[in-house]
């Protein structure tokens, strides 16, 4: 009997190890930036600090933004959007996530904020699953951040902001096949009392970054650059509203 239990235990260990190995291999097949993105914002022009991409404004930063990437999306895929926010006066930090999933680094914003203590106003932002992680951080650190920005994303049921007035911006896309407009509508009750929802007509889920197409998504009817430019304008207009208060 003892020998049988040892064999069973060994089999469990082997299965767990095999499952982890499979997950790890799968997690490394990521969405990277496109050639178009490289032409617009060459990667070698972006600073890297502590395995984070850091985009710095030319003058003193109005505030800081920690951008949580979507699942299996490389941080570099968001650099056109992030550069637009930096050009508008904001320090933008895009961390590399463990196994390329932001849920494993939900509190990474705290590390970023400690790295740049000179910045007073901090926002957390996330795309898709990254938005879930960013919302989770915001929910437990409401006194430390200025607001939350969601890109094709929504909070988890456990992070219900409906009884708060924390500023929130939700950007969603007409043809998003993953965080669909219907899903955004269904989860609207989880957002705060101070929220702006903005639909990007013609946009899709992958268009919140610049990494090509994504399984399960729908085709966009506008170019990815058009979607990104609308994201930049809407986000900076929203940020300026709060930073001028």
pLDDT at 68: 98
pLDDT at 12: 44
Q: Which residues of the chain have pLDDT under 50?
A: 1, 3-16, 20, 23-24, 26-27, 29
Say what the pTM is: 0.89
pLDDT at 21: 55
pLDDT at 53: 97
CA angle at 83 for the pair 214 and 106, rounded to the nearest 5°: 60
pLDDT at 22: 59
User: Residue 147 forms beta bridges with which residues?
Assistant: 123
User: Could you tell me if 173 and 149 are in contact, meaning their C-beta atoms sit under 8 angstroms apart?
Assistant: no
pLDDT at 14: 44
Q: Are strands 47-49 and 195-200 parallel, antiparallel or unpaired?
A: unpaired
CA angle at 144 for the pair 139 and 150, rounded to the nearest 5°: 50
């Amino acid at each position: 009997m003892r020998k049988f239990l040892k064999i069973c235990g060994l089999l469990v260990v082997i299965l767990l190890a095999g499952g982890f190995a499979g997950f790890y291999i799968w997690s490394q097949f990521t969405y990277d930036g496109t050639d178009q993105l490289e032409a617009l914002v060459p990667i070698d022009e972006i600073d890297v600090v502590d395995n984070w991409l850091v985009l710095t404004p030319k003058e003193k930063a109005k505030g800081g933004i920690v951008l949580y990437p979507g699942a299996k999306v490389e941080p570099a895929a968001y650099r056109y959007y992030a550069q637009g926010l930096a050009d508008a006066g904001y320090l933008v930090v895009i961390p590399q996530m463990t196994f390329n999933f932001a849920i494993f680094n939900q509190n990474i914003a705290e590390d970023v904020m400690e790295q740049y203590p000179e910045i007073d106003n901090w926002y957390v932002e996330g795309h898709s699953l990254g938005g879930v992680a960013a919302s989770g951080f915001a929910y437990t650190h409401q006194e430390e951040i200025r607001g939350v920005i969601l890109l094709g994303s929504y909070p988890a049921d456990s992070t219900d902001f409906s009884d708060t007035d924390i500023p929130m911006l939700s950007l969603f896309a007409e043809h998003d096949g993953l965080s669909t407009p219907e899903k955004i509508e269904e989860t609207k009750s989880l957002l705060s009392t101070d929220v702006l929802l903005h639909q990007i007509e013609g946009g899709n889920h992958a268009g919140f970054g610049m990494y090509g197409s994504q399984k399960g998504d729908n085709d966009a009817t506008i170019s990815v650059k058009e979607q990104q430019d609308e994201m930049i304008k809407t986000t900076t207009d929203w940020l300026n509203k709060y930073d001028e208060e």
